[in-house]
Amino acid sequence: MIRSPDDCACPIQEVGPSMVSSCPNQFLLFMTILEAYVNGRCDLADPCNRVSSVENVENEYDFVVVGGGTAGSVVAARLSENPQWKVLLIEAGGDEPTASSVPAWVTSYWNKDETDWNYKTEQQQKACLADGGKCSWTRAKMLGGCSVTNGMMYMRGHAADYDGWAVNGAKGWSWFDVMPYFLKSEDNKEIGNGVSGQYHSTGGPIPVQKFPYAPLFAHDVVSAAIELGYPPTSDLNGDTITGFTIAQTQNKAGSRFSTARAFLRPAAHRENLHVLLNAHVTKVVINPASKKVTGVEYLKDGQRKVVDVKKEVVISGGTINSPQILMLSGIGPRETLDKYNIPVINDLPGVGQNLQNHVGVQLSFTLTKEPEVPELNWATAMEYMLRREGPLSATGLSQLTGIVNSRYAPAGGRQPDVQFFFGGYYASCSDGVTYERDNVKDHREVTIYAVALQPRSRGYLTIQSVDPLSPPIMQPNYFLDEHELDVIVDAAKIAYRLANTTIMREKYGMKPTEGYGSDCGESQESPSDEFLRCLAMFHTAPENHQAGTCKMGPDSDPMAVVDMQLKVHGIDGLRVADASIMPTVVTSNTAAPTVMIAERASEFIITRHQLVKRGPDSELETRFGSPEQSNGGQASNEGDRWTFSEFDNNEPKPIENQTKQGQEIWDHRWKPWDKHWQYWPKPAYTHNPEWHKKNDYQQYQHSR
């Protein structure tokens, strides 16, 4: 009964590789049954809405989006809302497997060739030493990208991140400017229940809410943090930006909502949207004389092919692959391109530079009073099967987080510099047996990851060959600037204090795990700074928030790769839209900010190319005049820059001031989700130059 598939309106097919191979052999039988059950459920398999790969790629499209990951799925879906535009999305991997929608199976598709790029960094001098100095970077290779394999935590970063971007040259990207685009994609299910409508919205494609289940230990950590003096908060994206909480995630009724599921599947039946799966983009084709993009070259089934593009190409290959694709296309540092005999289309030294990632330490604790009863068994599996509740509907302790200030945090406390993540209580694999407490290990281990959010070390990424299938060289330079180590040591001490709170000590008997970190000496309840520094270097938490390799900035910034409309400097018809454009990595997880970037990119493109009729007898025009007036509908880095003085002041502009010949000017009153915009509590987000002078400006100056 349990295994037979639902009677769906469309035939259910298994998608992607099985998750079972990620479990130890002894769990094979139970996990195979469970996965078969999951694969047969209509709501999880979603067969009627699945995207299928296009069989006959047309010769030419209006837009080609490269990479169907977190950002690319959003861009392709948004652009194809216009039925007159033909859009092609090219993704190197396949469709997202059905089992990936089960939150507890979050790690099941990591480190598998079919679904993961399996990247390894260059040898680090001071990091990942327990793994021989090479850190592993899992990056998803499938439709939805890392939004299919990530922890789903919904975090936006802080207002000061975006204000810092704007102050340092990325004008038009202040918190005030970006906030509406977070709201646009959000469908928050808990407004009025822990989160406020002042910061959240409904009606967007991504459902946001807490998982239906959290281990009791997670709630107790929140209480322990309050005992330590951290403010109680149920929303770190709201009023209280520090504290510990069980986070909201991108899930609906206990199943994952990747951007492919949220954005692409509702668009799957559009005739003007083609999705090409298992096709690897090798380069963007650019006319060397006019510097105008003419097409995209890709490999499919071992054959090299080219598709032409009429309007624009958007690269959304992620922080590692986008700069690689640019370099292979002749855009990047001249010396690198010369080294590999790649004809230089544009010498942009910033391509691949400015690589940033959060980094932390993994701390192991033992709950000496808590037996390790497996979270997943037949009973808890039934909870998921029947009601989409219980441990399978959540990610164990990964949904718990804390954001705090270390003693190195910038003054003012508006941009905290430490985030805690937690590991344990996973329900990923099991043999299904319900064990009595007496029959299991009499203690449980949990991990606390203490992570520095404002890294000063900068790395780089470059190609090591002209072979597009060969991975780029990834050099994060972890701890090149020891600032991160200082922050991590301070943060680790907070974690130890958390473990020693009354509730953790008395209820769980929480202690540092014996023998853990023996490379660094003996673990103690109050470890020395030296021990913790050493631990950070051996048991590094290299995080998954890589950013910055196609930095956004004005053309006066020699390291900028894209301008503020995400157009590649000096190239006509090419943009980058993904986490790589962040000038500095935001101070939290990066998925929601990446979606925001994709929403903005889509709107820049729509604004530039969409033709409208201004009256019954008038001609079709772009929103900024006829195609001729707006530079012939062509993207140009020179002719159509925004005039920033127009929106440094956030007041709405009178209509006649909004169109200037040859220039795009942001219209403060035109928002597709206008109902939110008109109620916007402006004073709370108004840019305050005095505050910036005091708190941020200095810090950004020397953190570069």
Ligand X SMILES: Cc1cc2nc3c(=O)[nH]c(=O)nc-3n(C[C@H](O)[C@H](O)[C@H](O)COP(=O)(O)OP(=O)(O)OC[C@H]3O[C@@H](n4cnc5c(N)ncnc54)[C@H](O)[C@@H]3O)c2cc1C
Binding status of residue 158 toward ligand X by CB under 6 A: no
* Amino acid identity, position 95: D
Q: Which is nearer to ligand X, 536 or 597 (CB)?
A: 597
Min dist. Cβ of residue 199 to ligand X (A): 16
Return the range that interacts with ligand X (CB under 6 A); candidates 86-94, 236-244, 459-467, 654-662. Answer: 86-94
Min dist. Cβ of residue 53 to ligand X (A): 13
Min dist. Cβ of residue 111 to ligand X (A): 10
User: Catalytic residue among 274, 545, 609, 692, which?
Assistant: 545
533, 545, 551, 609: which one binds ligand X (CB under 6 A): 545
Binding status of residue 90 toward ligand X by CB under 6 A: yes
- Integer angstrom CA distances of residue 581 from 18, 281, 562, 570: 34, 19, 7, 16
Question: Could you confirm whether 676 is annotated as catalytic?
Answer: no
Residue 507 CB contacts under 8 Å (≥ 6 apart), including other chains:
220, 369
Q: How many CB atoms lie within 10 A of CB 50?
A: 20
Number of residues that bind ligand X (CB under 6 A): 41
**246: which strand partners?**
400
| Interacting positions 562-581 with ligand X (CB under 6 A) | 578-579
Min dist. Cβ of residue 546 to ligand X (A): 7
Under 8 Å between Cβ of 581 and 60: no
| Interacting positions 626-655 with ligand X (CB under 6 A) | none
Q: Nearest residue to ligand X, using CB?
A: 69
Under 8 Å between Cβ of 504 and 217: no
Return the range that interacts with ligand X (CB under 6 A); candidates 47-55, 61-69, 358-366, 515-523. Answer: 61-69
76, 153, 179, 361: which one binds ligand X (CB under 6 A): 153
Structure tokens at 449: 């990851």
124, 185, 316, 565: which one binds ligand X (CB under 6 A): 316
Ranges assigned E (strand) in 383-499: 400-404, 418-423, 444-452, 460-462, 473-475
**Phi, psi values for residue 239, rounded to 5°:** -65, -45
89, 155, 208, 574: which one binds ligand X (CB under 6 A): 155
Name the burial class of residue 21, with classes exposed (0-12), middle (13-18) and buried (19+) by CB atoms within 10 angstroms of its CB: exposed
Q: Which is nearer to ligand X, 233 or 395 (CB)?
A: 395
Return the range that interacts with ligand X (CB under 6 A); candidates 66-74, 626-634, 672-680, 690-698. Answer: 66-74
Binding status of residue 166 toward ligand X by CB under 6 A: no
**Rounded distance, CA 598 to CA 205, Å?**
13
Min dist. Cβ of residue 51 to ligand X (A): 13
Site string for ligand X, 272-301 (x = CB under 6 A): --------xx--------------------
Q: Which is nearer to ligand X, 74 or 489 (CB)?
A: 74
Q: How many CB atoms lie within 10 A of CB 528?
A: 12
**Rounded distance, CA 91 to CA 18, Å?**
20
Binding status of residue 64 toward ligand X by CB under 6 A: no
Binding status of residue 93 toward ligand X by CB under 6 A: yes
Q: Number of helices (H) and strands (E) in the chain: give both, helices first.
A: 20, 26
Under 8 Å between Cβ of 293 and 574: yes
Range 611-624 burial, b when 16+ CB lie within 10 A, else e: eeeeeeeeeebbbb
Please tell me what DSSP assigns to residue 21: G
Binding status of residue 150 toward ligand X by CB under 6 A: yes
Min dist. Cβ of residue 698 to ligand X (A): 28
Catalytic residues: 545
**Residues binding ligand X (CB under 6 A):** 66-72, 90-93, 138-141, 145-147, 149-153, 155, 280-281, 316-319, 321, 325, 544-545, 578-579, 589-592, 594
